[in-house]
A = this chain, B = another copy of it.
Amino acid sequence: MADTGWPGCAKSLKGVILDLCGVLYDSGEGDGVAIPGSIEAVKRLKESDLELRFCTNETQATREKFVAKLQRLGFDISVSEVFPPAPAAIAVLKERGLRPHLLVHDGLLPEFDAVDKTNPNCVIIGDAAENFSYQNLNEAFRVLIGLEKPVLFSLGQGRYYKETDGLKLDVGVYMKALEYACDLKAEVIGKPSPTFFQSVLSDMGLKPQEALMIGDDLVNDVGGAQYCGMKGVQVRTGKYRPSDERHPTVIADATVDNLAHAVDVILGQRGRGA
């Protein structure tokens, strides 16, 4: 019988999914900074026999610009390997014939260039940061409250993230604000939505139990992946807080100091198993 505990489970893995911000780099002014050891760790995973994808709730830039930033930081990553919420949202809009009012970061707007936004019948919010002004939030609220059946999509549900100059409020906080204002429940697109994780697994051609998620967000990365049947490992970088290790409901399969350490252990196990 295969070892299902950490680190033995690494022997039977077929793929790894990595969160980006807080695992590979810390965001902040300019491109942010790579987390020590993470560039080499990604390189080692790519050279291994493991499938590798990147699953992010990043919504401040188009996928192309975001990947270009990662490349400038030194990471060997291509656009087709990265899964952010915006393309998934556009697929949902098409499927359901919805026209969005957007409250997102200026950098994300080009993703929605080809989307019909006239006479909106839903609202999409992303990590809009400074665009979360009182006026803009009020405008999104008025669109929702004016709809007979208000539909709110939230690109992620994170509470906050860490930039080089400190913690920043994330989209989930504004999702809760609009949920309360309009007495509705938002549909989350992005982690920890099972549909979102499943789309990445499909692209890898793997079953959940064959994949491992590594992230800094206990609830959205680790808990979300575990809910889908994957293993979930938390790194002590990014938004990690010591209290995560005493969380009442989400217990990571392992908590490791950083990505480099996680990759050491995974590849070490596989070396021994071979």
Contacts and interface: CB of A to CB of B under 8 A. Distances in A.
A140 B166 CA distance: 13
A133 B129 CA distance: 10
B167 A176 contact: no
Interchain residue pairs A-B with the least CB separation, the first 9: A176-B180, A177-B177, A132-B134, A173-B177, A173-B181, A176-B176, A159-B181, A130-B134, A138-B169
Contacts of A138: 167-169
Interface string A202-235: 0000000000000000000000000000000000
Interface string A72-98: 000000000000000000000000000
**Which of under 10, 10 to 19, 20 to 34, or 35 or more describes the interface residues of A?**
20 to 34
A174 interface: yes
A239 B206 CA distance: 53
18 contacts: A130-B133, A132-B134, A132-B137, A137-B169, A137-B173, A138-B169, A141-B160, A141-B169, A141-B173, A142-B166, A145-B160, A169-B177, A169-B181, A173-B177, A173-B181, A176-B176, A176-B179, A177-B177
A174 to B, nearest CB: 6
A85 B133 CA distance: 25
Nearest to A179: B176
B167 A172 contact: no
B129 A141 contact: no
Given A141-B169, A166-B142, A167-B145, A159 B133 contact: no
A2 to B, nearest CB: 36
A159 B182 CA distance: 8
Contacts of A142: 166-167
A131 B134 contact: yes
Contacts of A141: 160, 167, 169, 173
A156 B199 CA distance: 43
Contacts of A169: 134, 137-138, 141, 177, 181
Given A145-B160, A159-B183, 5 more contacts: A138-B167, A138-B168, A141-B173, A176-B177, A176-B180
Interface in A160-200: 160, 166-169, 172-174, 176-183
A135 interface: yes
A135 B128 CA distance: 12
A145 B168 CA distance: 11
Interface in A14-50: none
